[in-house]
Structure 1
Amino acid sequence: MKKQLLMVSLVLACMGAAHAQDLTPKQQYAAESKRASARYADDKKLCSEESSSGARMQCLRDAKAEYDRSLAGAKAALNEAQRRPGQNEPTGICRDCGKVVAVNVSEKDGEGSPLGLIAGGVAGAVLGHQVGSGTGRDLATIAGAAGGAYAGRKVEQKVKSSKVWAVTVQYEDGNKASFNFDHDPGLQAGDRVRNSGNSIIRR
């Protein structure tokens, strides 16, 4: 009877091993547990065919021991797999590879310099000085200088503004990332790309 139990266990184990590579560790553990339960049920049926009660009891003890060993082995394999993250991930995934899902172009203001503030302030002060007389002229000069400085800074920022291309990438592992370019990268939604240093290039 022990030989029969061993043969059944070996056949079922070989059948399950063919599919083990396609499963995640948890799925594999669940499959092994299910197979162990089915094997145990079959073994108990075989045990019921024994001619004496002593033989039946011994057969059941052997079947239970085999079931416990199978579960312990499946649990040990799960624990080992969980201690080695990354080794049981689906093959064929390129973590540095992805697809462009969006390309957005926006204007970026340039940096204003002290020269812009001074030039704008002087121009504003000159214009303000030409308005009114006495104290009113002084106030207009000050207001013109302040307003001119602000306007000068804004004009300079606008003159120095540039375009920014923001490219959003969806990676094969499900993650997303965005990359900024100060020139047209020549990419559009649907293009396949991969990481290259701190940027991306077309695949």
Structure 2
Amino acid sequence: MKKQIFIVSLMLASVSAAYAQDLTPKQQYTADSKRASARYSDDKKLCAEESTSSVRMQCLRDAKTEYDKSLAVAKANLNAAAPGSGQNHQGVCQDCGRVVSVDINEKAGEGSALGLIGGGVVGAVLGHQVGGGTGRDLATIAGAAGGAYAGRKVEQKVKSTKVWAVTVQYDNGNKNTFNFDHDPGMASGDRVRNSGDSIVRR
């Protein structure tokens, strides 16, 4: 069944390419959308002829996936044909895409010698107050070591910063993630393009 769907898709793609040169981008998008809908309708009819319900359901899922892909390509080509889109010779904008996720993460700060020493001093003082003789010395050393570690962790926490990770799905199928040290003001679904080592809204 997948083979039949694939063959039909290839045939219609060939016909589409043959007429693409005579159409404006909008006309091409309309034509591609109609072809995708017609193909989807034909595929559903083919799926209805399958012998078991599980095979029919899988066939319908495959047909829907192909339909969604066709619409996505048609839309990407339409957007790429817009003025100033930076499209390549195939009509796909290599630097254009859509935001698919924005995640806010916390980046630990760098611990300095000050936090290490300060924590160690406090830990040593507290440890020195425990027990007596050799036990007191051991407690002082343990307190200093534990205090130094705690001091470093506290300093890292205080100096931690937020990082906004914006993941972009490009029109050509590639994907990339950009990190910002401030809120970039972007949300899932926003159209963006590359700008240097970063991205900006289109």
- TM-score, scaled to structure 1: 0.57
Matches within 5 A, 1:82-161: 90-91=90-91, 93-161=92-160
Report the counterpart of residue 194 of structure 1 in structure 2. Answer: 193
- 2 CA distance for matches of 1:141 and 1:201? 55
Look up the SS of the partner of 1:137 in the other structure.
Answer: helix
| Letter matched to residue 90 of structure 1 | Q
| Letter matched to residue 142 of structure 2 | A
Report the counterpart of residue 165 of structure 1 in structure 2. Answer: 164
RMSD (Å), alpha carbons: 1.9
Q: 1:21 Cα shift?
A: 6.5
- 2 CA distance for matches of 1:19 and 1:151? 70
| Letter matched to residue 111 of structure 1 | E
1:25-73 per-residue CA deviation (whole Å, 9 max, x = no partner) reads xxxxxxxxxxxxxxxxxxxxxxxxxxxxxxxxxxxxxxxxxxxxxxxxx
Q: 1:165 Cα shift?
A: 0.5
| Letter matched to residue 105 of structure 1 | I
| Letter matched to residue 129 of structure 1 | H
Q: What are the ranges of 5 or more consecutive residues in structure 1 without an aligned counterpart? A: 1-15, 23-87
Report the counterpart of residue 176 of structure 1 in structure 2. Answer: 175
Runs (4+) off by over 6 Å? none
Q: What are the ranges of 5 or more consecutive residues in structure 2 without an aligned counterpart? A: 1-14, 22-87
- 2 CA distance for matches of 1:152 and 1:185? 33
Q: 1:20 Cα shift?
A: 7.7
Q: 1:195 Cα shift?
A: 0.3
Q: 1:19 Cα shift?
A: 2.3
Look up the SS of the partner of 2:189 in the other structure.
Answer: coil
| Corresponding residue pairs, total | 121
| Letter matched to residue 90 of structure 2 | P
Q: 1:90 Cα shift?
A: 2.6
Report sequence identity in percent. Answer: 75
- 2 CA distance for matches of 1:20 and 1:202? 33
| Letter matched to residue 95 of structure 2 | D
| Letter matched to residue 195 of structure 2 | S
| Letter matched to residue 191 of structure 2 | R
Q: 1:184 Cα shift?
A: 0.3
Of the two, which has the highest radius of gyration? 1
| Letter matched to residue 158 of structure 2 | V
- 2 CA distance for matches of 1:201 and 1:112? 33
The alignment status of 1:19 with 2:18, answered yes or no, reads yes
